[in-house]
Structure 1
Amino acid sequence: MLTPDMTASLNAQINLELQSSNLYLQMSCWCAFKSLDGCAAFLAQHAEEERTHMQKLITYLNETGALVELTAIPAPTARYDSLQELFEQVLEHEQHVTDAINKLVHQAHQTPDYATYQFLQWYVAEQHQEEFLFKSVLDKIKLIGTDHQGVFFIDKEIGALATPPAAGTGVADPTTAAVAQ
């Protein structure tokens, strides 16, 4: 059984994952508006991934008999000055999520709540991968440059990182997710 404090902290993380999903969906919409179809697909896929992270937390709380409480989340920024600014904000946001996960892990260890501590280890590894991925995206942007042709090539590179939909579903197959190299 979860303590009330751990339940509240896990609920806060659920809402942060929902906020992340909305942020990436809005960023995807901005990219689509700017005809950056590769970036739009990549960010839409990440919006779905964040919803999956949220659902894992919801399932965990449900399994422990705790009440899930969804709260209002702030509206994401809809406009960006550049693709580089957008991905800088993505990396900054992922670093914020990593900090929140680390605080949850620390809380679970201190409680002690070893089941939750073990459950959260997946999120620790996931955040390491997310930060690496988005740092590599920013590195590509800086390497290629953002002149008109540069943005075209960046869009192609980032679009290549998106996992193609599973046959006949229109949904990315998570078992074949691309890994930044």
Structure 2
Amino acid sequence: MSLAKQNFSNVVEDSINEQISQEMAASHAYLSIAAFMASDGVALPGFEKFFREQADEERGHAQKLIDYQNKRGGQVILQAVPAPDPEWNSAKNAVESALQMEKGVNKSLLRIEALADENNDAEFVRLLRSEFLKEQVESISEISKLITQLNRVSGDGLGLYLLDQTLLEHGIHGVAGEV
């Protein structure tokens, strides 16, 4: 047992390991979407860039949880990351898939926040609220706005090209109208 472990229940420790796996699975899924966007049949470099950045962000979340688990005296147990299911037939379909994934990650974070609260782990609750849950709300909002923009351009023509170029040059904030 770690000398650092204090007020850190096994239930919370296990849930952190599960969340690490979920964040890594999301990172893999985003890499897969980025590869789809980069393929010669799709050729959307702005979307590719956006999804590569999302993959990095999710991997960063996993690393934060690994670092936190170690800081609290928990044991990091990495699990196999399942292969993503690349069943996208359009940019819009891939972005809709990403939105559902983000909502699933958010649901999982809310579940472990409740577990941490039940186990009187105020420090972990604070971390989840200040860093993870806030970012999830922002990601869900950004991806939702991207879907709205994709609905406006409806299809694979000039509108999609212009949206992709905006993503490439200005990132999601240029598309979502945020500052």
TM-score (norm 2): 0.88
Structure 1 residue 117 and structure 2 residue 125: aligned? Answer: yes
- 1:178 CA displacement: 7.1
| Residue number in structure 1 paired with 2:90 | 82
Matches within 5 A, 1:120-159: 120-121=128-129, 122-159=131-168
Corresponding residue to 2:44 among 32, 36, 45: 36
Conservation of the 8 A alpha-carbon contact between 1:41 and 1:159: yes
List per-residue Cα deviations over 1:11-50 (Å, max 9, x = no partner): 1001100001000011000100021111001100110011
| Residue number in structure 2 paired with 1:171 | none
- 1:79 CA displacement: 4.4
RMSD over equivalenced CA pairs, Å = 1.7
Matched to 2:12, the amino acid is M
Structure 1 residue 107 and structure 2 residue 91: aligned? Answer: no
Matched to 1:13, the amino acid is Q
TM-score (norm 1): 0.87
| Residue number in structure 2 paired with 1:23 | 29
CA distance in 2, matches of 1:158, 1:20: 21
Matches within 5 A, 1:64-83: 64-83=72-91
Conservation of the 8 A alpha-carbon contact between 2:166 and 2:175: no
CA distance in 1, matches of 2:135, 2:141: 10
Conservation of the 8 A alpha-carbon contact between 2:27 and 2:58: yes
Matched to 2:91, the amino acid is L
Structure 2: which 5+ runs fail to align? 1-5
- 1:77 CA displacement: 2.1
* Farther off after superposition, 116-125 or 141-150: 141-150
Conservation of the 8 A alpha-carbon contact between 1:15 and 1:73: yes
Matched to 2:14, the amino acid is A
Aligned-pair identity (%): 27
- 1:158 CA displacement: 2.6
- 1:179 CA displacement: 8.8
* Farther off after superposition, 72-81 or 114-123: 72-81
CA distance in 2, matches of 1:63, 1:19: 23
Q: 1:139 to 1:179 in 2, by over 3 A?
A: closer
